[in-house]
Structure 1
Amino acid sequence: MTALLLPLGLTLATGTASAAGPNDQMDEIDEQATAVAEAARAGTGKKGDKDVLAVPLPITSPVLGVGLVVAGVVFYNPNGAPSPWISGAAAMKTNNDNWLLGGFHSMSLADDRFRFTAAVGAGKLVTDYYGTGDAAGDRDVAAQLDEKTVALRLQPQMRVLPGLYAGVRALAMHVKVNPRDADPAFPDLVIPQDQRNSTLVQLGPAVTYDRRDDSLNPRQGAFLHAEWLWGIKALGSDYKGGKFTAGASVYVPSGTRTVWAFHAGLCDAAGDLPYFDLCLYGQKNDLRGYKAGRYRDGMSWALQAEWRRHLFGRVGMVAFGGIGGIAPSLAQLGRTDFLPAGGVGLRFQPSRATNINLRLDLAVGRDSQAVYLGIAEAF
């Protein structure tokens, strides 16, 4: 067993970037637990090998306050599969009573023919709600909400072609919202009563295609994913609308020191859905430079490119830019309010044994800016 300790782990966004809502919490539990675990990948290729990763992370943010995130991940391989198993947990607490607990597990069976991931989380966060639509985002006025969330996500998949996995995703989430502002500045900032204590249960197909040469710091290949989830009232959901999300990333090397990375993201939410399950612009780093949730609507899209350059030793840099927007629906894509962004960043490889970078990105949007500090690349 190898014990690993890093000073930084989970993604932290400060300044104008912060958690946007319950779905963001689940995304952080899922993606960041995987990222932290991959940092411990060295030495786990054989059956019985095990790595343990402990990550203390001080955080500070105008929204979250001052506090600490503690994460622990076990990376092991009980059946000698090409994709080792990962189990992890994280806890966050800040001085303004924000807290979050989460756990994550992934495993592969039958020589990686079957894959299974699960994430569970519970927490209370203070979030900003700006309303729905581009006009609401442009006015930049928010109502503060206390959101208490309990959520579970399961995803079994089977390999159908080399690199291509197909299966289902199930999401169950209970959200209790307590508005902090009794009389918000604008009527559309009032959360409807039927969405203040509600349950969302969704089920649908999930497809993943992964031909990258490295999951966290790829130089070539492609990664695509798509999920189409629908509310199931028979399973206790208060909503029956559908939500489609998809993303595609392509990596092209240019010499030995440079990589071009390209990413496209799309979200389309339709029908009976709560405010917290709409499409959030800037979510999951689809375009850095905007606070996730400031721009929210029935559809969002983003295109971006990033130039990644190794400078010397363990140090590198990136430059990135892109454009995207939101609209009421995919059919109304022509009504997009364009939201461009760009920025630069530094990279540092803390260990030569693992091909993973710590990143610091400075991003500027149309009328916003953000600082991102975390582990692994944005996409």
Structure 2
Amino acid sequence: MFLLAFGPEEFSFAQEKPGWIKRFIQKSISDTTSNGKPSFRIYPTLAYSPETSFEFGFSSLLLFQAKNDTLNRLSEIQAFTFITLEAQYGIWLDNAIYGNKDKWFVLGRTRFQRFPLLYYGIGPETTGNEPALIDANYILLRQRILRKVVPNLFIGPEVDYQQLYNTKFNQPDDHDAYELPIGTGGGRNLGLGAALVYDNRHNVLNVRKGLFGEISFLNYAKSLASDHNFYGVNLDIRSSHPTNDRNVLAWQFLGNFFTGEVPFNQLALMGGEMIMRGYYSGRYRDKNMLATQVEHRWLPFKFSKRIGGTVFAAAAVVAPRVHEFSWKHIRPSGGVGLRYLLFPKKDIFLRLDVGFTKEGPGFYLFTGEAF
């Protein structure tokens, strides 16, 4: 998918004053929000991909600190809405909200979309030729409500609700028919569990120094209003290290481990805008996945106040069972990116990444770093 964004506009919570054109230009290139005060920015996006044709949308970002206290961590709520020429649409919402003095931490995401899913099969050796196209409505609600137990350590319940409906599995014309995986007829699954999180980051969207570690367990059962019985363990470790005032070296390790009757859309998915950039999300999928990535960031370049860049590399592998992970199935990816300092006072960048794989490039435009 290829995406473009046009000059961001920052909107004040105060009533608009006369001379709005001049104010628009000034606010498009400057961050006038006082430290500690909420900031909101919205900007249009244009995208194109073979499965959607042209896509038009808006991205928005709300930044704030509890009680407007700069000693509290920076909370963020991101929203993205889109519609395509193929009458597809969606709303995405991501949140990382810290309470006063970190007493509470609410971390999660929400998705509602009518969007095609390319399906290449399940396993580490699926071919990239002629994927099936699954058209469906999709709802995802996932939240962790965490309580601080000691400084930087949080624990609490986690809930994950996913529903797929109005599904149509379109077999490719020039390919043997795919065996229909679990979940292609639609369904809903509710997972309940718990998460343990260590987090000493101060700025989630641009971590210059800090460690995030999470291990969580989710159980999906028919007795809990799910259509299938399965459970999963997720592990996510991220670390960022400043090499000087402008540069950051960051790495991440991710593990997903599922057991039971896992629907195809809730398997461990390789690819996307967060990890293994360059691969279509779900290009490889299975019950288990190990992935890692490393990235060096110039935020910003030494010769610029707003423009920065990055280089990154990643590798991942999927398998039906943990003991079946194989070196020969490891898939590499790498890429480069540009950064634009969107909120100077809050150190938030807009990122445009290009990920490269043996199957071609992928383009990504988002607010905040990938991890």
Change in Cα spacing, 1:122 to 1:218, as seen in structure 2 (3 Å) is: closer
Question: What is the distance in 2 between the residues matched to 1:154 and 1:90?
Answer: 18
Offset of residue 226 of structure 1: 2.4
Contact 1:143 1:184 in 2 (8 A): no
Per-residue Cα deviation, 1:237-267 (whole angstroms, up to 9, x for no partner): 0112112222211112223332211111111
TM-score, normalised on structure 1?
Answer: 0.80
Question: What is the distance in 2 between the residues matched to 1:316 and 1:365?
Answer: 23
Question: What is the distance in 1 between the residues matched to 2:242 and 2:94?
Answer: 32
Which amino acid in the other structure matches residue 311 of structure 1? K
Question: What is the distance in 2 between the residues matched to 1:280 and 1:288?
Answer: 12
- Give 3-state SS (helix, strand or coil) of 1:349's partner: strand
Offset of residue 235 of structure 1: 2.5
Question: What is the distance in 2 between the residues matched to 1:332 and 1:7?
Answer: 48
Change in Cα spacing, 1:325 to 1:198, as seen in structure 2 (3 Å) is: same
Question: What is the distance in 1 between the residues matched to 2:309 and 2:66?
Answer: 37
Contact 1:44 1:75 in 2 (8 A): no
Q: Which has the larger radius of gyration?
A: 2
Offset of residue 203 of structure 1: 0.9
Candidates 48, 56, 66, aligned match of 1:68: 56
Change in Cα spacing, 1:292 to 1:205, as seen in structure 2 (3 Å) is: same
Correspondence 1:93 to 2:83: yes
Per-residue Cα deviation, 1:191-246 (whole angstroms, up to 9, x for no partner): 45x64121111011112222234322222221122222110322210112112222
| Range moving further from structure 2, 83-92 or 366-375 | 83-92
- Give 3-state SS (helix, strand or coil) of 2:226's partner: coil
Offset of residue 170 of structure 1: 0.6
* Long gaps (5+) in structure 2: 10-29
Alignment of 1:51-130 (within 5 A): 51-75=39-63, 79=67, 82-83=72-73, 89-103=79-93, 107-109=97-99, 111-117=101-107, 119-130=109-120
Which amino acid in the other structure matches residue 312 of structure 1? F
Correspondence 1:150 to 2:143: no
Q: Which residue of 2 aligns with 1:260?
A: 249
Offset of residue 95 of structure 1: 0.4
Q: Which residue of 1 aligns with 2:158?
A: 169
Contact 1:41 1:354 in 2 (8 A): no
Offset of residue 317 of structure 1: 2.1
Change in Cα spacing, 1:315 to 1:119, as seen in structure 2 (3 Å) is: closer
Question: What is the distance in 1 between the residues matched to 2:280 and 2:73?
Answer: 34
Candidates 122, 132, 149, aligned match of 1:160: 149
Correspondence 1:361 to 2:353: yes
Change in Cα spacing, 1:308 to 1:375, as seen in structure 2 (3 Å) is: same
Q: Which residue of 2 aligns with 1:235?
A: 224
Correspondence 1:131 to 2:115: no
Offset of residue 119 of structure 1: 4.3
Change in Cα spacing, 1:375 to 1:104, as seen in structure 2 (3 Å) is: closer
Question: What is the distance in 1 between the residues matched to 2:89 and 2:96?
Answer: 24
Q: Which residue of 2 aligns with 1:21?
A: none
Alignment of 1:292-371 (within 5 A): 292-309=281-298, 310-313=301-304, 314-334=306-326, 337-371=329-363
Contact 1:184 1:190 in 2 (8 A): no
Contact 1:129 1:189 in 2 (8 A): no
TM-score, normalised on structure 2?
Answer: 0.81
Contact 1:140 1:294 in 2 (8 A): no
Higher helix share: 1
Change in Cα spacing, 1:244 to 1:70, as seen in structure 2 (3 Å) is: same
Offset of residue 367 of structure 1: 3.2
Change in Cα spacing, 1:146 to 1:160, as seen in structure 2 (3 Å) is: same
Offset of residue 44 of structure 1: 6.4
Q: Which residue of 1 aligns with 2:22?
A: none
